[in-house]
Amino acid sequence: MGKFDLARALLETGSFHWKAAPQFTLASGRVSEYYVNCKQLLAHPQYRRILAELIAQHLKGWDVQAVGGMEIGAIPISTAVSDYVYDRTGRELRTFVVRKKAKDHGMKHAVEGAFQAGDRVLVVDDVLTTGQATIDAITQARAAGLEVQQALVIVDRQEDNGRQRVEALGVPLTSLLTLQDLKDLKGKPDA
């Protein structure tokens, strides 16, 4: 399985939308002719497996003990990767999730999961535009004592300096696909 399989899966699941005129409001408030909704892709076990396999290929070169990121996008990604790595190798790659807002009850944590201060981690996210969600996840993970080694996103829109903003924190960013990959495969906007 490779990058092309993942791009095709995004199209097959209706996860990539492209209109001739801007009509999708992004989290940043900007309106775009492109919208990537990885939640559609991540709702299918066969596509989560493709994704997990691709991420696991990158993990071979990274020394990380846990994987996670901002709710809700990172939850199925990190779980799929953790399960895949365990099933294939027996290695326990633990998971964590960063809340958008710390709980106001219980332990009142902003970061939850199986981790210890000092753990080396991979932060994952579905789509990168401005990079703000990934930046927030990195910042909160660091505040919880985690050492963020890498960041990985499914799709980098290659807009709004998202990659540069993340890497300015000293965290290398890997993207499995770019918006251009999806445009190239799809060929033209939806009618």
What would the pLDDT profile of 72-121 be if each residue is shown by its tens digit?
A: 899 999 999 999 999 999 999 999 999 876 555 555 568 989 899 999 99
Count the neighbouring beta carbons within 10 Å of the beta carbon of residue 13.
Answer: 17
How confident is the model at residue 103, as a pLDDT? 55
- Residue 36: both structure tokens together: 């990537």
8 Å CB contact between 64 and 122:
yes
CA distances from 103 to 31, 96, 99 (A): 31, 15, 8
8 Å CB contact between 110 and 71:
no
Ordered domains of the chain (ranges, CATH)? 3-186 (3.40.50.2020)
CA distances from 60 to 36, 113, 134, 153 (A): 27, 23, 22, 17
Q: What is the mean pLDDT of residues 129-148?
A: 95
8 Å CB contact between 73 and 107:
no
* Euclidean distance between CA atoms 71 and 76, whole angstroms: 9
* Euclidean distance between CA atoms 155 and 148, whole angstroms: 20
How confident is the model at residue 61, as a pLDDT? 83
Please name the amino acid found at residue 22. Answer: P
**% of the chain residues with pLDDT over 70:** 95
How confident is the model at residue 109, as a pLDDT? 67
How confident is the model at residue 85, as a pLDDT? 96
How confident is the model at residue 108, as a pLDDT? 57
* Euclidean distance between CA atoms 64 and 15, whole angstroms: 29
| pLDDT tens column, 47-62 | 999 999 999 999 988 9
The three-point CA angle 33-14-80 to 5° equals 115
Could you tell me which residues come within 8 angstroms of residue 8 by beta carbon, excluding any fewer than 6 positions away? 185
How confident is the model at residue 29, as a pLDDT? 86
CA distances from 130 to 28, 127, 136 (A): 7, 10, 11
CA distances from 79 to 40, 69, 138, 161, 185 (A): 16, 11, 18, 28, 28
pTM score of the predicted model? 0.93
